[in-house]
Amino acid sequence: MSAAVVDRRGFLKVSASAAGLTLAMQVPFGAQAQDASPEVTVWVVMKPDDAIVVRIARSEMGQGTLTGLAQLVAEELDANWAKVTTEYPTPGQNLARNRAWGNFSTGGSRGIRESHDYVRKGGAAARMMLVQAAANEWKVPVAECRAANSVITHGPTGRTISYGKVASAAARLPVPTDVPLKDPKDWKIAGKRLARLDTVDKVTGKQVYGADLKLPGMLNAAIRDCPVFGGKVRSFNAAAVASRPGVKKIVQVGDSAVAVVADTWWRAKSALDALPIEWDEGPNAKVSSADVAAILKAGLDAPEAAVGNRVGDAKAALASAARRIEAVYSYPHQNHATMEPMNATARWTPERCEVWTPTQNGEAALAATSEAAGLPARQCEVYKIHLGGGFGRRGMTDWIRQAVAIAKEMPGTPVKLLWTREEDMLHGRFHPVTQCKLQAGLDAQGNVTALHMRISGQSILAGVNPQGIQGGRDPVVFQGLNPPGPEASIGYTVPNLLIDHAMRNPPVPPGFWRGVNLNQNTIYLECFIDEIAAATRQDPLALRRKLMAQHPKHLAVLNAVAQKVGWERPPADIGGQKVFRGLAQTMGFGSYVAACAEVSVSADGDLKVHRIVAATDPGHAVNPQQIEAQVEGSFAYGLSAALFGECTLKNGRIEQDNFSTYPVVHMQHMPKVETVLVPSGGFWGGVGEPTIAVAAPAVLNAIFAATGKRIRDLPLKHHSLKRA
Amino acid sequence: MATLHVNGAPRTFDAEPDTPLLWALREQLGLTGTKYGCGIAACGACTVHIDGVPTRSCVRPISTIGANEKVVTIEGLSPDGSHPVQRAWVQLDVPQCGYCQCGMVMTAVALLQAKPNPTDADIDEAMTNICRCGTYNRIRAAIKAVAQGSTRSAGLNIQHVDGSVA
């Protein structure tokens, strides 16, 4: 049984000996405060030796949010940065304390942009309480005291005391409600190019990922879900593998999967490979990508569609236009392919269920655990473990439900479920598939008078959150194409504009993905703008500037890119190859971004992306060196998608089952990336995702400049760029 | 029972002969710094050294490794993370999620042993490991920093708590 108890603040105190857990490695057990260190505010724990523990509610998956959020808290705390460490409160603690830490969800580049206000106030309030406690001890007016670098100074006497010494007294004071925040121009910790807090263990092998977790007495499970979406288990012959070395149990999981539990994962996986399973492949057994494409194609001209953005009368203006331009684009299904496959460790008893898992959404993980365990959420707990990549995949909970179902078959025994790469590839939550027909109407002078974008295809919300559908309309589909406003707004003014969506949902489970709908929408619009420029013999930058005059923030990042790249001057040849440029811009996740790609295409059609210059305006920049890392990373992910990324359906199942059939960008493909950071202040935008959306269109437009070939469907691996 | 020479000492353990080295390291020997990514030698997260040669341990059965062949994992690269490659990785804040990075470090160590001053082409050729976060440019910069003995040319201007700037 578990000896975890909840103290008066709802904090878990895990008694290792009573729980029978002799921990072989550092196992995350959430915020423990085991040494009774004072919690000054929910975000700040202060130890007597002046060590500071900043609580982080969002999940760290490489994007640096742990460091960035800690910088924001430490800034307002006037903390000694060298003393700052972090910890995750658990979803169960959040539940027990009436969501003291707010939303745990870590997707949509929202870690900082959604919580900056309350975490900074948590730091500022803690500082006010510490200063007040010092003033009380010295019996002096608080106004005579000031804090810096974790030390409080009484101005008139010069007396000093460190935070740790007054932390206990501060923790007993009421938390102030009127908490002014610093002007970002006065930041000393936030806004700086600080090193991450979580690097060292990642290069020594000490960092524990979910896949590395080892609990005493733990068994290991490998699983196979029906490869056909919607299929079920018909039968399996457990006796065929039951006597293999180390095998403990063979269990059916739900109606569609079978798992083998063994002492080691390798033995579980080997036995699963040898286990005869018969599938009932169900209604999708014959579905292929061609079927899906046909369904989407019909949606391009369907009379019924949900409207995302409408100005004037685009259809009438198109009908009367002096000239029309039309193109159809498409975007495939893609897998996240996190480096660490899905995994979760679960321990179930009739009284309690605990799960250790890398998750982007701790609260959803707790809810899924509760549901799968058949226990109230208050009798469940989820311990978040560092993620080996997320990209949206780990916002889901499917593998957690599986792990709990398996653990439920072995009460009291912790079982770690680890997916194979093949399972991960076949049972992703895929980047949605869409097609888009774009029609532009031009007047006699070549001015754009009308634009109609008809998107046809998959809705993520319909798959993962149907209650988010509003009257048949999925608002997320229109990312980057929304009317003017603070989120994902279109950067062009066209007098007659219609952007609508015909929802067509194939039998492939969709999921949020790095950038997700912004990715294909930016390809569609930015490549089509280039098509208009080419058709009207205008410079792509000049045409954009003309259409963007009423969108100064969009235009500013585009201009920053043009200036940095030197758009007015042709690029120098590289290795005897001519270099060509392509532009793209968009707005999403609260930030404005633009990019220029420089590519060359050899006579044989070999593409080389030499350099990408990218500008981003996220409003405020909390850690510029980490923003640069995110921008670079987004281009690796975006170029993987553009060059190679495609999951195809054949006989109801995904054909690509590993990196051999789902190639991604390697070192040799990676361009030089130059990031231009132009934070204009006054708003908070995300940085993990926005720039991924400009990767593909910038490259596609550069390819057109180089070859005259207009690529309208991805990935590029299907297209010959060889000159005719 | 099988015996392997791992990180400077012979280790005897119970595993089937066809068990891949990766899983013997992770499950029998508790060395979890070596990661499972693909199981088909495509991603390099499982890279270790066998007699100094970078090897993808996920497809290497333990039965094919002699008791005298010296296996070195990330845990055996240095006792305290002080190998110059590890130091450069830290100074330039290379990892994002970090899952691939132990394999990257092991591959880079072997590259720098073979070619102390690698060209970009050498780096492209040797560093075929996969990183989905997209840390490739910082990896390239860190390898060059080791070769040059200085992180300055990377121009990243990262401020560390010890006051140093890399």
Per-residue pLDDT tens digits for B50-87? 999 999 999 999 999 998 999 999 999 999 999 999 99
CB atoms within 10 A of CB A191: 19
For chain B, what is the total number of helices (H) and then of strands (E)? 6, 5
H or E segment to which residue A519 belongs? helix A517-535
Residues of A in contact with B59 (CB under 8 A): none
Find all residues with CB under 8 Å of A185, minimum gap 6, and list them.
none
The residue among A336, A378, A328, A333 whose CA lies nearest residue A354 is A378
Radius of gyration for chain B, computed over Cα atoms and rounded to the nearest angstrom = 16
From residue A490, alpha-carbon distances to A159, A480, A486, A548 in Å are: 57, 5, 11, 9
In the predicted model, is pLDDT for residue A77 greater than 90? yes
At residue B152 the predicted structure's pLDDT band, cuts being 50, 70 and 90, is confident
The answer to whether residue B166 is domain-embedded is no
Residues of B in contact with A25 (CB under 8 A): 32
In the predicted model, is pLDDT for residue A1 greater than 50? no
Tens of pLDDT, residues B2-34: 999 999 999 999 999 999 999 999 999 999 999
The answer to whether residue B49 is domain-embedded is yes
Tens of pLDDT, residues A429-452: 999 999 999 999 999 999 999 999
Q: Give me the number of domains chain B comprises.
A: 2
The answer to whether residue B159 is domain-embedded is no
User: Which of B27, B102, B119, B136 to probe by mutation at the A interface, max A CB count within 10 Å?
Assistant: B136
Average pLDDT over residues A339-367: 98
The span from the CA of A713 to the CA of A496, in Å, is 26
The model's pTM: 0.96
What is the structure's pLDDT at A10? 35
Within 94-123 of B, beta carbons closer than 8 Å to A belong to 94-102, 105, 123
- Taking each helix axis from N to C end, the angle separating A65-77 and A111-138, rounded to the nearest 10 degrees, works out to 30
> Residue B24: closest CA among chain A residues belongs to which residue?
A266
How many angstroms separate the CA of residue A116 from the nearest CA in chain B? 21
CATH number for the domain running over A300-334+430-718: 3.30.365.10
Least confident of A15-29, A549-563, B81-95: A15-29
The span from the CA of A707 to the CA of A701, in Å, is 10
In the predicted model, is pLDDT for residue A12 greater than 70? no
What is the structure's pLDDT at A7? 35
The answer to whether residue B160 is domain-embedded is no
The label of the residue with tokens 């159809």 reads A328
What is the structure's pLDDT at A37? 86
Average pLDDT over residues A647-676: 98
Within 189-208 of A, beta carbons closer than 8 Å to B belong to 192-196, 198-208
The answer to whether residue B33 is domain-embedded is yes
Largest CA distance in chain A: 86
Structure tokens at A646: 């495609």
The span from the CA of B18 to the CA of A624, in Å, is 48
Q: Are B112 and B61 within one domain?
A: no
Decide the pairing of beta strands A591-601 and A343-348.
Answer: unpaired
How many angstroms separate the CA of residue B75 from the nearest CA in chain A? 6
The span from the CA of A459 to the CA of A434, in Å, is 9
> Residue B94: closest CA among chain A residues belongs to which residue?
A199
Q: Are B69 and B91 within one domain?
A: no
Cis peptide before A475 (omega within 30 of 0): no
The answer to whether residue B164 is domain-embedded is no
Q: Is A214 on the interface with B (CB under 8 A)?
A: yes
At residue A30 the predicted structure's pLDDT band, cuts being 50, 70 and 90, is low
Q: Are B12 and B37 within one domain?
A: yes
The answer to whether residue B106 is domain-embedded is yes
What is the structure's pLDDT at A35? 60
Q: CATH no. for residue B144?
A: 1.10.150.120
From residue A82, alpha-carbon distances to A32, A47, A185, A400, B142 in Å are: 22, 14, 22, 36, 24
Average pLDDT over residues A562-584: 97
In the predicted model, is pLDDT for residue A21 greater than 90? no
Structure tokens at A139: 């019996």
H or E segment to which residue A411 belongs? none
Q: CB of A706 within 8 A of CB of A580? A: yes
The span from the CA of A131 to the CA of A150, in Å, is 10
Tens of pLDDT, residues A114-160: 999 999 999 999 999 999 999 999 999 999 999 999 999 999 999 99
Identity at A341, one-letter amino acid code: P
A37-191 and A300-334+430-718 share one fold: yes
Helix%, strand%, coil% for chain B, nearest 5: 40, 15, 45
The residue among A364, A432, A403, A394 whose CA lies nearest residue A225 is A403
Task: Go through B34-56 and write b for each residue having 16 or more CB atoms within 10 A of its CB, e for each that does not.
Answer: bbbbbbebbbbbbbbbbeeebbb
Residues of B in contact with A626 (CB under 8 A): 93
A82 vs B81, B93, B161: nearest CB: B161
In the predicted model, is pLDDT for residue A562 greater than 80? yes
The span from the CA of A270 to the CA of A265, in Å, is 8
> Last residue of a domain, which of B77, B110, B125?
B77
User: Which of A25, A85, A203 to probe by mutation at the B interface, max B CB count within 10 Å?
Assistant: A203
> Last residue of a domain, which of B50, B77, B104?
B77
Residues of A in contact with B38 (CB under 8 A): 421, 658-659
Decide the pairing of beta strands A277-280 and A343-348.
Answer: unpaired
Q: Are B8 and B36 within one domain?
A: yes
At residue A302 the predicted structure's pLDDT band, cuts being 50, 70 and 90, is very high
Q: Are B134 and B96 within one domain?
A: yes
How many angstroms separate the CA of residue A376 from the nearest CA in chain B? 33
What is the structure's pLDDT at B153? 86
Q: Do B40 and A205 touch (CB under 8 A)?
A: no
Q: What is the 3-state secondary structure (H, E, C) of A25-90?
A: CCCCCCCCCCCCCCEEECCEEECCCCCEEEECCCCCCCCCHHHHHHHHHHHHHCCCHHHEEEECCC
A62 vs B30, B36, B97: nearest CB: B97
> Residue A338: closest CA among chain B residues belongs to which residue?
B132
In the predicted model, is pLDDT for residue B101 greater than 80? yes
Q: CATH no. for residue B60?
A: 3.10.20.30
What is the structure's pLDDT at B148? 96
Q: Do A339 and B132 touch (CB under 8 A)?
A: yes
Give the length of chain A.
724
In the predicted model, is pLDDT for residue A541 greater than 90? yes
A389 vs B30, B97, B128: nearest CB: B97
Q: Are B56 and B101 within one domain?
A: no
How many angstroms separate the CA of residue A485 from the nearest CA in chain B? 30
Average pLDDT over residues A170-188: 97
Q: Are B112 and B135 within one domain?
A: yes
| 3-state class (DSSP) for residue A253 | strand
H or E segment to which residue A576 belongs? none
The span from the CA of B46 to the CA of A469, in Å, is 43
Q: Are B106 and B147 within one domain?
A: yes
The label of the residue with tokens 């102030």 reads A176
Within 326-385 of A, beta carbons closer than 8 Å to B belong to 337-341
Task: Go through A519-535 and write b for each residue having 16 or more CB atoms within 10 A of its CB, e for each that does not.
Answer: bbbbbbbbbbbbbbbbe
At residue A723 the predicted structure's pLDDT band, cuts being 50, 70 and 90, is confident
Q: Are B73 and B90 within one domain?
A: no
User: Which of A196, A197, A202 to probe by mutation at the B interface, max B CB count within 10 Å?
Assistant: A202
DSSP state, residue A294: H
Domain extent listing, chain A: 37-191, 300-334+430-718
Identity at A540, one-letter amino acid code: P
The residue among A304, A306, A243, A307 whose CA lies nearest residue A275 is A243
Tens of pLDDT, residues A214-261: 999 999 999 999 999 999 999 999 999 999 999 999 999 999 999 999
> Last residue of a domain, which of B77, B112, B143?
B77
DSSP state, residue A102: -
What is the structure's pLDDT at A27? 46
From residue A48, alpha-carbon distances to A14, A152, A545, A673 in Å are: 22, 15, 58, 44
**Range of the structural domain that residue B14 is part of:** 2-77
The span from the CA of A463 to the CA of A460, in Å, is 5
| 3-state class (DSSP) for residue A21 | coil
The span from the CA of B92 to the CA of B138, in Å, is 7
CATH number for the domain running over A37-191: 3.30.365.10
Q: Is B132 on the interface with A (CB under 8 A)?
A: yes
